[in-house]
Structure 1
Amino acid sequence: MQTNVLEFFLAGALKKCPNKTAIIDGDVRISFAELDRRSRTLAAAIVARAGVLNEPVAVYLPKSADVVIANVAIMYAGGIYMNLDVKIPPLRLKNILDHVGPKLVITSRDRVAEVQGATAGITHSQIVCVDDIAAQDIGQEADAAPLRFRKLIDTDPACIINTSGSTGTPKGVVLNHRGVIDFMDWVFEEFRFDESTKIGSLSPFYFDIYILELIACLAKGATLVIIPDKLPIFPAKLMEFIAEQAVDFLFWVPSIMVNIANLGLLEKVPLPALRTVFFAGEVFPTRHLNMWRRALKDAVFVNLYGPIEIHVDCTFYIVKDDIPDDQALPIGSPCRNTDILILNEADQLCATDEQGELCVRGSSLCGGYWNDLEKTTRVFVQNPLNTRYPELIYRTGDLAVRRADGLIYLAGRKDYQIKHMGYRIELPEIEHQVLGVPGIANACVVYDSPKKAITLFYQPSGAHVSAATIRQALSEVFPKYMLPTTYHAMAQLPMNANGKIDRNGLLLSLADSD
């Protein structure tokens, strides 16, 4: 019985194809044997610096082979890896580090000042520089360090992924070994991954898509081709890169795929090697999906759905039949060993075609939110359909319907949490920061779904406050994908009968202005 994610590597690629290329990162090529050696060396340094068994270790590095090495090293040491975005504002970095309290931070010499400048909570002794470790030869110590991971059990945390939080502090989602193993076992049963697979890794390594990419690499000997960060803003060059590298597997968010389709690049840049395309994180317009399918007739397209709280994804739909451009794409059926409950307001199962909240039960549920029992107990609740024994379900807040054919379709959000550019964002978090800007009396953030635009309506308390002023203040706290796209100053925000801001009215005003 497998109890640890690292066992995918030990019984998989390391054993079966140690000399094969594991990672392509620009001009860097790293074999599985080299990945193992460098990870063990770093693991020894981690263990020598601090006891990290079941403790978080942050990785503050740009997307690169070094992050993969660090993650495997942390797993060898029995720790919990937490990849961070090196582009986030210092205040957000401080919030995450202070909230999670990692035992160590793995970074590079040129970024030590950024870590120390963000928070006083991380001392110099808690920082491990990959540059220094790479120049060392720890020798026999590296052989002893890996034994630490064998002390873990499958319900222990494997990693922490930080996502938006409504109070301004990101939520640390705790993913455990059991959930990752369960999800990846299903992936390997349903889809073909082997030593010939070349993964075009586009998403950030602090995103959940990376989990599938990493484990497919470690377990099956697939090669992880790291796509340079600058390519997504140049779609033509991105396509050329995929073609030159003969990438045959993609797991992308739809936004970039829509852009590629709109630019007509599918006809201009053939991708004969591409055989499997996963997409998730937001709705993929059917018209654009059909453009991809027409251009890549032999490729398999798979729509996946799932909040990060359930270990990557919990439903899937393999697109086989022709779907009209104006018809919504289903999120499909539950992944193996996962059950989807669609509950009405009385916490009863919805009938066919009845809309309700999508809830999930099974081993796919994460361990909750790091250091936040209140938020955890709010959404991980006793299954209302089961009064006989304790059983948790996760309330996603997503609205869905199950049709007569058994397929599930999304119908929107129950609250004000959105998916934007593949990221899950809580609109109240943005409002919370806007209200902290001097001169702002009130604020409301809504999501203009047709335009995929985060829209801010704000009420100055006196003198005019410019959109540029607000954007500058928010850019010091949020990454770019969380910044409002449009700004509307109003003398008075509309209120509904119960005295709350009329969000629906504001949304309708956007629709009327089109």
Structure 2
Amino acid sequence: MKFSILDYLEETAKKYPDKTAFADTKTSITWKELVLKARALSTILSAKFEAGTAIPIMIDKSVKTVEYFFAALYSGCFYSYFDATFPDSRIDSMIQTLQVKNIIADSRFEKKLSNLNIQALFVDDIEKQAEKNKAKYNDSRRKEIIDTDAVYANFTSGSTGVPKAVIVSHRSVIDFISCFTELFEITANDNIANQAPFDFDVSVKDIFSAVFTGATVHLVPKLFFSFPTKLLDYLIEREITTLIWAVSALCIISTLNGFEYKIPSKINKILFSGEVMPCKQLEIWMKNIPEAQYINLYGPTEITCNCSYYKIPKGVFPPPEKLPIGIPFPNERILLLDENNKLVTEPETEAELCVSGTCVALGYYNSIKTEEVFVQNPLQKAKFERIYRTGDLAKYGNDGLLYYVGRKDTQIKHMGHRIELGEIEGKITKHSNITRSCCVFTKNKISAFYTGKQTEKKDIVSMLKMTLPTYMIPGDFIYIDEFPLTKNGKIDKRKLIEKISNL
């Protein structure tokens, strides 16, 4: 029985030692080389990080980044990717959450890190030490790994303004990816084009699908998504077969008429998630690559990537206007619970989607929020059964399939990221001219309403860039004399959305 991700990595390295494992635009690494490099690096990391703790990594997405992910695992630790473009305040919050003293970083981020309360361990220095210690690899920590130890921590937006770190174990990744690769027939013959940033859990499916099968992962430069012709050339040159992308990434090609330039005809699997796929965009893809299998995936970070899927039947065109999120993965259980914690099974009845199974994350690192959403199944009185309450509303259709409805609260999914609108509102009201704000999400855009003094948009945006990632900054800022209220005295968001429609 395999207890850790490293068991799968080493097995793949034995099967395909000289096959390319990961490749970027400048370099590549074979499976055998990856194991040897990660082990060598772990000799240095083990001296800097205690077993079972987080290893933050701030390196631009590349083969080298992947080497350090696995070096972290060989060190008996877990990795967490830090995006260098994030504001200092957000990175500082992530540092405090993980309670780390050191960070692995590229030397070009030295100035940024000097402003933060953390010691940078630069890649160039580690590489030199690792080369000297290559023959001194000690597998004692690797042998101590058990399947409930953490693999990675991915941060999500927090309603309190503090990002939450979702911790996912070896067992969760093993149980999910084993099922994922079998269901969607991912094999050693596949070339996977990695689109997702490494702090977004879509990338987990790319990295570990390859580890489990021997497929090759090609790391697509972020810049290429601004130039569809470059992106399509890349997909064709690398003979890409598999896309596991966020919806917005697929839409870049289809909305900009990329297929009029070239069609990457070797693609045979297109899996998408993170947002609702616009029907018109899906039609464009299906029209131009008709033989591919199209799969709609659903699931939050807290349940290891996805908990349900829907395979669009081949030959069905155009696709349905509202895609189902389908059925649960075989090793996961989905429960729809109403406000009284009663099980809902009737068609067209909305309820909160909750998930049970070994793919449920360990919880949030260093956060009392864990106790609020990782809870005992209220339907199960005889034994312990942990579920994750997603906060998403869903329903069964008359066809027996699950359909996503929306959020119970103000949390949204935008550009592939989980976002709490409350966090944005809190940052906006820090502006001296603004007394209150309310954000709404409609037509795939965040719009912010505010009261106080009318203020130039550029002034608000300039302030927000100091504390928020770009994807969390609203597209519109709308001044309003006073907020419309419901009979309960709450801001009437429906009326705000109506105002946007009338603008």
Q: Provide TM-score, normalisation by structure 1.
A: 0.94
> What residue in structure 2 maps to residue 149 of structure 1?
142
Q: Which amino acid aligns with 1:196?
A: N
2:235 to 235, 242, 257: 242
> What residue in structure 2 maps to residue 106 of structure 1?
104
> What residue in structure 2 maps to residue 486 of structure 1?
476
- SS in structure 2 of the partner of residue 57 of structure 1: strand
Match runs of 1:235-314 below 5 Å: 235-314=228-307
> What residue in structure 2 maps to residue 459 of structure 1?
451
- Distance across 1 between alignment mates of 2:439 and 2:260: 38
Q: Gapped runs of 5+ residues in structure 2?
A: none
Give the % identical residues. 34
Q: Deviations over 1:284-313 (max 9, x none)?
A: 012221221121122111111000000010
Q: CA deviation at 1:473?
A: 0.7
Q: Deviations over 1:128-158 (max 9, x none)?
A: 2111222345455654334312212111211
1:355 to 318, 336, 350: 350
> What residue in structure 2 maps to residue 316 of structure 1?
309
Give the paired residue count.
Answer: 501
Q: Provide TM-score, normalisation by structure 2.
A: 0.96
Match runs of 1:428-467 below 5 Å: 428-448=422-442, 450=443, 452-460=444-452, 463-467=453-457
- Distance across 2 between alignment mates of 1:378 and 1:50: 30
Q: Residue 17 of structure 2 contacts residue 32 of structure 2 at CA under 8 Å; is this kept in 1? A: yes
Q: Which amino acid aligns with 2:6?
A: L
- Distance across 1 between alignment mates of 2:374 and 2:271: 28
- SS in structure 1 of the partner of residue 419 of structure 2: strand
Q: CA deviation at 1:217?
A: 2.0
> What residue in structure 2 maps to residue 368 of structure 1?
363
Q: Gapped runs of 5+ residues in structure 1?
A: none
**CA RMSD of the aligned region, Å?**
1.6
Answering whether residue 43 of structure 2 is matched by residue 44 of structure 1, we say: yes
Q: Which amino acid aligns with 1:457?
A: F
Q: CA deviation at 1:27?
A: 2.4
> What residue in structure 1 maps to residue 403 of structure 2?
409
Q: Deviations over 1:20-60 (max 9, x none)?
A: 11121112121122222221121011112232x11001001
- Distance across 2 between alignment mates of 1:326 and 1:391: 36
Answering whether residue 486 of structure 2 is matched by residue 496 of structure 1, we say: yes
Q: Which amino acid aligns with 2:26?
A: D
Q: Deviations over 1:352-399 (max 9, x none)?
A: 2211111111111101111012x1111112211111222221111111
Answering whether residue 13 of structure 2 is matched by residue 21 of structure 1, we say: no
- SS in structure 1 of the partner of residue 138 of structure 2: helix
Q: CA deviation at 1:191?
A: 2.4
Seen in structure 2, the aligned counterparts of structure 1 residues 131 and 140 have a Cα distance that, compared at 3 Å, is closer
Q: Which amino acid aligns with 2:354?
A: C
Answering whether residue 475 of structure 2 is matched by residue 476 of structure 1, we say: no
Q: Which amino acid aligns with 2:356?
A: R
- Distance across 1 between alignment mates of 2:151 and 2:90: 23
- Distance across 1 between alignment mates of 2:7 and 2:114: 34
- Distance across 2 between alignment mates of 1:82 and 1:421: 21
- SS in structure 2 of the partner of residue 465 of structure 1: coil
> What residue in structure 1 maps to residue 91 of structure 2?
93
Q: Deviations over 1:222-245 (max 9, x none)?
A: 111111120111122211211111
Seen in structure 2, the aligned counterparts of structure 1 residues 344 and 199 have a Cα distance that, compared at 3 Å, is same
Q: Which amino acid aligns with 1:269?
A: K
> What residue in structure 1 maps to residue 8 of structure 2?
8
Seen in structure 2, the aligned counterparts of structure 1 residues 256 and 138 have a Cα distance that, compared at 3 Å, is closer
Q: Residue 44 of structure 2 contacts residue 130 of structure 2 at CA under 8 Å; is this kept in 1? A: no
- SS in structure 1 of the partner of residue 17 of structure 2: coil
> What residue in structure 2 maps to residue 70 of structure 1?
68
Q: CA deviation at 1:323?
A: 5.4
Match runs of 1:92-171 below 5 Å: 92-117=90-115, 119-120=116-117, 122-123=118-119, 127-139=120-132, 143-171=136-164
Q: CA deviation at 1:65?
A: 0.9
- Distance across 1 between alignment mates of 2:230 and 2:401: 37
> What residue in structure 1 maps to residue 386 of structure 2?
392
Q: Which amino acid aligns with 1:366?
A: A
Q: CA deviation at 1:79?
A: 0.3
Q: Residue 208 of structure 1 contacts residue 312 of structure 1 at CA under 8 Å; is this kept in 2? A: yes
- SS in structure 1 of the partner of residue 222 of structure 2: coil
Q: Deviations over 1:103-144 (max 9, x none)?
A: 531111221331231x22x13xxx321112223454556543
4+ runs deviating over 4 angstroms? 137-143, 323-326
